[in-house]
Amino acid sequence: MIYLDLFLGFLKVGCFAFGGAYAAIPLIRDVVLSYGWVTDETLTYMIAVSEMTPGPIMVNLATYVGRSQAGFTGAFVATFAVVFPAFLIMLLCMFVFNSLMKNRCFNSVISTLKPCVTGLILAVGIVMTAEAFFDLKGEGGFDPKALFITVLLAAAAFLPPVFGKKKISPIMLIVVSAVLGVVVF
Protein backbone atom coordinates (compact mmCIF):
# COMPACT_ATOMS: atom_id res chain seq x y z
CA MET A 1 0.00 0.00 0.00
CA ILE A 2 1.42 3.34 -1.05
CA TYR A 3 0.48 5.23 2.15
CA LEU A 4 2.24 2.67 4.31
CA ASP A 5 5.28 2.68 2.00
CA LEU A 6 5.43 6.48 2.10
CA PHE A 7 5.07 6.45 5.87
CA LEU A 8 7.78 3.83 6.43
CA GLY A 9 10.11 5.30 3.79
CA PHE A 10 10.02 8.79 5.23
CA LEU A 11 10.01 7.55 8.80
CA LYS A 12 13.34 5.94 7.93
CA VAL A 13 14.56 9.26 6.55
CA GLY A 14 13.37 11.09 9.66
CA CYS A 15 15.05 8.57 11.96
CA PHE A 16 18.44 8.51 10.28
CA ALA A 17 18.92 12.01 8.86
CA PHE A 18 21.55 13.38 11.20
CA GLY A 19 22.94 16.85 10.64
CA GLY A 20 20.30 18.71 8.71
CA ALA A 21 18.89 18.97 5.24
CA TYR A 22 21.89 18.06 3.14
CA ALA A 23 22.56 14.98 5.23
CA ALA A 24 19.02 13.89 4.47
CA ILE A 25 19.43 14.09 0.71
CA PRO A 26 21.48 10.87 0.40
CA LEU A 27 18.88 9.07 2.52
CA ILE A 28 15.91 10.49 0.66
CA ARG A 29 17.60 9.58 -2.61
CA ASP A 30 18.14 6.02 -1.36
CA VAL A 31 14.55 5.58 -0.22
CA VAL A 32 12.90 7.32 -3.15
CA LEU A 33 14.97 5.49 -5.80
CA SER A 34 14.66 2.09 -4.14
CA TYR A 35 10.85 2.36 -4.08
CA GLY A 36 11.02 3.67 -7.64
CA TRP A 37 8.82 6.65 -6.76
CA VAL A 38 10.65 9.18 -8.91
CA THR A 39 13.71 9.14 -11.17
CA ASP A 40 17.04 10.70 -10.26
CA GLU A 41 16.25 13.43 -12.78
CA THR A 42 12.93 14.34 -11.15
CA LEU A 43 14.47 14.18 -7.70
CA THR A 44 17.06 16.75 -8.73
CA TYR A 45 14.24 19.10 -9.80
CA MET A 46 12.49 18.43 -6.52
CA ILE A 47 15.62 19.28 -4.54
CA ALA A 48 16.00 22.50 -6.52
CA VAL A 49 12.36 23.43 -5.89
CA SER A 50 12.76 22.58 -2.20
CA GLU A 51 15.76 24.88 -2.08
CA MET A 52 13.80 27.74 -3.58
CA THR A 53 10.68 27.39 -1.46
CA PRO A 54 10.54 28.30 2.22
CA GLY A 55 10.97 25.81 5.02
CA PRO A 56 13.15 22.82 5.90
CA ILE A 57 14.27 21.06 2.71
CA MET A 58 13.48 17.63 4.15
CA VAL A 59 9.87 18.63 4.83
CA ASN A 60 9.54 20.17 1.38
CA LEU A 61 10.86 17.02 -0.26
CA ALA A 62 8.61 14.75 1.79
CA THR A 63 5.55 16.80 0.89
CA TYR A 64 6.60 16.89 -2.74
CA VAL A 65 7.35 13.18 -3.14
CA GLY A 66 4.27 12.25 -1.11
CA ARG A 67 2.01 14.38 -3.25
CA SER A 68 3.50 13.05 -6.49
CA GLN A 69 2.77 9.48 -5.40
CA ALA A 70 -0.56 9.73 -3.62
CA GLY A 71 -2.00 13.25 -3.70
CA PHE A 72 -2.84 15.28 -0.61
CA THR A 73 -3.04 12.30 1.73
CA GLY A 74 0.32 11.06 0.45
CA ALA A 75 1.84 14.48 1.09
CA PHE A 76 0.40 14.53 4.58
CA VAL A 77 1.57 11.01 5.44
CA ALA A 78 5.11 11.58 4.13
CA THR A 79 5.44 14.95 5.90
CA PHE A 80 4.15 13.56 9.17
CA ALA A 81 6.54 10.61 8.94
CA VAL A 82 9.61 12.78 8.30
CA VAL A 83 8.80 15.19 11.14
CA PHE A 84 7.63 12.72 13.77
CA PRO A 85 11.00 11.15 14.80
CA ALA A 86 12.63 14.57 15.23
CA PHE A 87 9.69 15.71 17.33
CA LEU A 88 9.65 12.61 19.51
CA ILE A 89 13.40 12.38 19.99
CA MET A 90 13.60 16.07 20.88
CA LEU A 91 10.86 15.62 23.49
CA LEU A 92 12.76 12.69 25.00
CA CYS A 93 15.95 14.77 24.97
CA MET A 94 14.18 17.48 26.97
CA PHE A 95 13.79 15.08 29.88
CA VAL A 96 17.47 14.15 30.00
CA PHE A 97 18.83 17.37 28.48
CA ASN A 98 21.45 18.27 31.07
CA SER A 99 22.84 14.84 31.79
CA LEU A 100 22.96 14.03 28.06
CA MET A 101 25.22 17.00 27.33
CA LYS A 102 27.70 15.70 29.90
CA ASN A 103 27.43 12.04 28.88
CA ARG A 104 30.76 10.88 27.47
CA CYS A 105 29.35 7.91 25.61
CA PHE A 106 26.87 10.17 23.82
CA ASN A 107 29.64 12.64 23.00
CA SER A 108 31.84 9.87 21.68
CA VAL A 109 29.17 8.63 19.26
CA ILE A 110 28.51 12.20 18.15
CA SER A 111 32.22 12.73 17.51
CA THR A 112 32.26 10.00 14.85
CA LEU A 113 28.78 10.69 13.48
CA LYS A 114 29.59 14.29 12.61
CA PRO A 115 32.54 13.58 10.27
CA CYS A 116 30.70 10.58 8.80
CA VAL A 117 27.73 12.75 7.89
CA THR A 118 30.06 15.41 6.47
CA GLY A 119 31.71 12.75 4.29
CA LEU A 120 28.34 11.54 3.00
CA ILE A 121 27.27 15.06 2.13
CA LEU A 122 30.54 15.69 0.33
CA ALA A 123 30.22 12.49 -1.70
CA VAL A 124 26.63 13.18 -2.72
CA GLY A 125 27.58 16.75 -3.65
CA ILE A 126 30.38 15.47 -5.87
CA VAL A 127 28.19 12.84 -7.55
CA MET A 128 25.36 15.29 -8.17
CA THR A 129 27.71 17.94 -9.52
CA ALA A 130 29.33 15.43 -11.86
CA GLU A 131 25.97 14.09 -13.01
CA ALA A 132 24.92 17.58 -14.05
CA PHE A 133 27.35 17.45 -16.98
CA PHE A 134 28.40 13.81 -17.20
CA ASP A 135 26.27 10.67 -17.32
CA LEU A 136 28.00 8.57 -14.65
CA LYS A 137 25.94 5.42 -14.88
CA GLY A 138 24.77 5.35 -18.48
CA GLU A 139 26.61 5.75 -21.77
CA GLY A 140 29.00 8.33 -20.37
CA GLY A 141 27.29 11.19 -22.21
CA PHE A 142 29.06 14.51 -21.74
CA ASP A 143 27.50 17.96 -21.85
CA PRO A 144 30.05 20.79 -22.35
CA LYS A 145 27.45 23.55 -21.86
CA ALA A 146 26.48 22.15 -18.46
CA LEU A 147 30.15 21.85 -17.53
CA PHE A 148 30.59 25.52 -18.45
CA ILE A 149 27.72 26.55 -16.17
CA THR A 150 28.98 24.31 -13.38
CA VAL A 151 32.46 25.84 -13.51
CA LEU A 152 31.03 29.38 -13.44
CA LEU A 153 28.78 28.56 -10.50
CA ALA A 154 31.55 26.78 -8.61
CA ALA A 155 33.73 29.87 -9.03
CA ALA A 156 30.91 32.09 -7.76
CA ALA A 157 30.28 29.79 -4.81
CA PHE A 158 33.82 29.07 -3.67
CA LEU A 159 36.03 31.99 -4.76
CA PRO A 160 34.53 35.00 -2.87
CA PRO A 161 35.41 33.65 0.63
CA VAL A 162 38.98 33.04 -0.58
CA PHE A 163 39.29 36.75 -1.28
CA GLY A 164 37.59 37.62 1.99
CA LYS A 165 34.33 38.61 0.32
CA LYS A 166 30.90 37.67 1.58
CA LYS A 167 29.58 34.31 0.42
CA ILE A 168 26.94 34.23 -2.27
CA SER A 169 23.65 33.04 -0.78
CA PRO A 170 22.15 29.71 -1.90
CA ILE A 171 19.04 31.47 -3.22
CA MET A 172 21.19 33.86 -5.26
CA LEU A 173 23.21 30.96 -6.69
CA ILE A 174 20.03 29.18 -7.77
CA VAL A 175 18.64 32.32 -9.41
CA VAL A 176 21.92 32.84 -11.27
CA SER A 177 22.00 29.19 -12.36
CA ALA A 178 18.46 29.40 -13.72
CA VAL A 179 19.33 32.51 -15.74
CA LEU A 180 22.51 30.85 -17.04
CA GLY A 181 20.47 27.78 -17.98
CA VAL A 182 18.05 29.85 -20.06
CA VAL A 183 20.90 31.79 -21.72
CA VAL A 184 23.26 28.90 -22.46
CA PHE A 185 21.01 25.99 -23.45
Partner 1 sequence: MRILFDLFITFVKIGFFTFGGGYAMLSVIEDNCVEKKKWITHDDMMNVTVIAESTPGPIAINCATFIGYRQAGILGSIAATVGIVFPSFAVILIISGFLDNFLEIEVVKNAFRGIKCAVGILIISAAVNMIKNMKKKPLPVAVLILSALAMLAIDIFSLGFSAITIIVFAAILGLAVFAVKGKKSEKI
Map the footprint of partner 1 across residues 100-139, applying CB under 8 A.
100-101, 104-133, 136-137
Q: Does residue 142 interact with partner 1 by CB under 8 A?
A: no
Which of 5, 8, 30, 134 binds partner 1 (CB under 8 A)? It is 30
Give the contact letters, 64-93, x = binds to partner 1 (CB under 8 A), - = no: x--xx---x--xx--x--xx-xxx-xxx-x
* Binder of partner 1 out of 9, 22, 37, 69 (CB under 8 A): 22
Phi-psi region of 37 (alpha: psi -120 to 50; beta: other; left: phi over 0): alpha
What lies within 8 Å, CB to CB, of 75 at 6+ separation is 62, 63, 64, 66, 67
Q: Is 35 in the site for partner 1 (CB under 8 A)?
A: no
Q: How far does CA 147 lie from the centroid of its chain?
A: 22
For helices 2-16 and 21-35, what crossing angle results, to 10°?
150
How many chain residues touch partner 1 (CB under 8 A)? 106
Closer to partner 1 by CB, 1 or 71: give it: 71
Closest approach of Cβ 177 to partner 1, in Å? 4
d(C-alpha 58, C-alpha 66), whole Å: 12
Q: Say if CB 79 and CB 66 are below 8 A apart.
A: yes
The nearer residue to partner 1, 2 or 83, going by C-beta atoms, is 83
